[in-house]
Amino acid sequence: MTPPRLRLILLLAAATAGLSACGRRGPLELPPDVQARGAALRAQQEAAQARTGPKPAPGQAVPAPPPPPIPGTIGNRPPADYPFPLDPLL
């Protein structure tokens, strides 16, 4: 049988190893105001380019819009729908 101290160390090491894999994968999320500021600046730049940029000829089709972002990515994370259970610990 192992001594109590060694058993405690092994138990703590196993718990630490088990919890080390928990958490989100990918970059950390920025606060909502910082995320919104970047999107607002991009929208302003795109609006300025749209006003001054080249226009399609009358017979040409308008280019297709880009696909919507993947749900759950930064800037498109619905926290009320998909809460992360370990958020209070992070």
Structure tokens belonging to residue 67: 């696909």
Domain layout of the chain by residue ranges: 4-81
Separation between Cα atoms, residue 40 and residue 33, nearest integer Å: 10
Structure tokens belonging to residue 24: 């989100």
Residue 28 has pLDDT above 80, yes or no: no
Half-sphere exposure of 81 (CA within 13 A, CB side): 5
Give tens-digit pLDDT for 11-25. Answer: 999 888 777 766 656
In terms of Cα–Cα distance, which of 8, 26, 40, 41 is closest to 77?
Answer: 26
What are the φ and ψ backbone dihedral angles of 17, each rounded to 5 degrees?
Answer: -65, -40
- The pTM for the full model equals 0.32
Residue 88 has pLDDT above 70, yes or no: no
